[in-house]
Amino acid sequence: MKQSPVYLNDLGLICSLGDDTDEIYRQLTKSSPSGLTTSTQYSDKGSLELGLVTTTLPSLEDCPSSQQTRTNQLLRAAYEKIEDSFLTARQDIAPERIAVIIGTSTSGIENTEIALQQQETAGGVRYEPQNLGNPAHTLAKWANVTGPCYAVSTACTSGAKAIASGRRLLRSGMFDLVIAGGVDSICKLTVNGFASLEAVSDQQCLPFSQNRTGINIGEGAALFLMSRNHSDVCLTGVGESSDAHHISAPDPSGQGAELAINKALIDAQLAATNIDYINLHGTATTQNDKMEATVVNRVFGSSLACSSTKSRTGHTLGAAGAIEAAFCYMLLTRGESELPLHVYDNHYDSELPKVALVTELSSKAKISKTMSNSFAFGGNNISLVMERQQ
């Protein structure tokens, strides 16, 4: 039985490049400075380049104290971008037929860090802010909806998985509108945790370079308004897999990642040659880049345009899959446009299979089919295919 198409009707986005989608996309397609900030605030090992959001964030003074987290400030900033569209779309839809699904990995952990430092004078620690469901439940309150409301926390695939979950709910026919996406904020636990894995670079990260030394941590939020109502972009393909090779390292063979990519292509009823552009996971870690280059070369060959945008935004963890899907969405809604640039030192690792990184300003082209890849700890993989509608 043919499944109902699910559309991405609107986007709310905030990251280290700002909160205006036109300006964010301009920066992604130009040789402009990265969105990274040199900071010592979150690291025990000196200064690091971090994808910090410097845009002024909304106040949460009207919210209960348990919801007053930086993560929820980022979430509200993204929600405010789609609120008008949401209020229009929800007319005549019962609140119980509207769902909220949010991918996250940190939630309000930073608040707990501060509370632990102050617990002797503060009289204890409250853990409600760091509950993984806190952002989703907070957003459901703002939106005044009573349908399914839950978190997805699968590390770096969380935001993309939330979008895939939203499509499943809409296809069930029991729900008519979904707000789905991802949000994460920077905290010491995350930064020092990745540093302990020797996976953090103290310079701008260099995906697929022979000189790559690790990731930059970032933060941000991306929310999609999803429905069965026709719009410019359709989520036509979702492919998910779990290879469970190692708790943090990817399977070097790439079998799990390849399975996710192929399932997304089959779901979208497309061949690999139909894809116009791939937003790569591209973390700039030694093992992940090697695995992804191997798989992309094996499935798509060495000529399909692709880029990693993490050297601009940092790795936004639970938000990454949603933010990078947002970059594809922005490309698809812009008619003819340049492709997001892959920013690195131009020293491609000769030990990696070749992939066609977009390192120079491209001619404007009409892109109609994109893929966004996310590969997380534990071998948790997802690929999303999005298509421009005629």
Residue found under tokens 């707990």 = 112
Q: Is residue 2 part of a domain?
A: no
Q: Is the pLDDT of residue 112 over 80?
A: no
Q: Is residue 1 part of a domain?
A: no
294's CB contacts (< 8 A; 6+ apart) are 252, 253, 254, 352, 353
Range with the poorest average pLDDT among 100-114, 119-133, 351-365: 119-133
* Per-residue confidence (pLDDT) for residue 224, from 0 to 100: 98
Q: Is residue 307 part of a domain?
A: yes
Q: Is the pLDDT of residue 115 over 60?
A: no
Confidence of residue 295 (pLDDT cuts 50, 70, 90): very high
Average pLDDT over residues 172-176: 97
DSSP annotation of 373 reads E
155's CB contacts (< 8 A; 6+ apart) are 105, 317, 318, 376, 377, 378, 380
* Per-residue confidence (pLDDT) for residue 131, from 0 to 100: 82
Distance separating alpha carbons of residues 242 and 120, to the nearest angstrom: 43
Residue 281 is among the residues annotated as catalytic for this protein: yes
Q: Is the pLDDT of residue 88 over 90?
A: yes
pTM: 0.94
Q: Is residue 372 part of a domain?
A: yes
* Per-residue confidence (pLDDT) for residue 382, from 0 to 100: 98
CATH number at residue 375: 3.40.47.10
More confident of the two residues 19 and 360 = 19
Confidence of residue 208 (pLDDT cuts 50, 70, 90): very high
Q: Is the pLDDT of residue 378 over 90?
A: no
Identity of the highest mean pLDDT range in 30-34, 68-72, 364-368: 68-72
Q: Is the pLDDT of residue 108 over 80?
A: no
Q: Is residue 333 part of a domain?
A: yes
Residue 15 is among the residues annotated as catalytic for this protein: no
Q: How many domains would you assign to the chain?
A: 1
Q: Is the pLDDT of residue 121 over 70?
A: no
Q: Is the pLDDT of residue 128 over 80?
A: no
Determine the residue type at 8.
L
Confidence of residue 1 (pLDDT cuts 50, 70, 90): low
Q: Which of 15, 149, 156, 328 is catalytic?
A: 156
Q: Which of 187, 205, 306, 315 is catalytic?
A: 315
Distance separating alpha carbons of residues 141 and 128, to the nearest angstrom: 16
Q: Residue 222 sits in which domain range? A: 7-388
Share of the chain above pLDDT 70, in %: 94
More confident of the two residues 216 and 390 = 216
Q: Which of 234, 281, 306, 328 is catalytic?
A: 281
3-class DSSP string for 250-314: CCCCCHHHHHHHHHHHHHHCCCHHHCCEEECCCCCCHHHHHHHHHHHHHHHCCCCEEECCHHHHC
Residue 315 is among the residues annotated as catalytic for this protein: yes
For 7-39, the pLDDT digits (tens) are 999 999 999 999 999 999 999 998 777 889 999
* Per-residue confidence (pLDDT) for residue 16, from 0 to 100: 97
Q: Is residue 246 part of a domain?
A: yes
For 219-239, the pLDDT digits (tens) are 999 999 999 999 999 999 999
Q: Is residue 327 part of a domain?
A: yes
Q: Is the pLDDT of residue 124 over 70?
A: no
Q: Is residue 175 part of a domain?
A: yes
Distance separating alpha carbons of residues 367 and 365, to the nearest angstrom: 6
Q: Which residues pair with 237 in a beta bridge?
A: 385
More confident of the two residues 361 and 294 = 294
- Half-sphere exposure (Cβ direction) of 154: Cα atoms closer than 13 Å: 25
Average pLDDT over residues 139-151: 98
Residue 240 DSSP SS3: strand
269's CB contacts (< 8 A; 6+ apart) are 236
Q: Is the pLDDT of residue 44 over 60?
A: yes
Confidence of residue 111 (pLDDT cuts 50, 70, 90): low
Share of the chain above pLDDT 90, in %: 77
Average pLDDT over residues 325-349: 94
- Find out whether 43 and 192 touch, Cβ atoms under 8 Å: yes
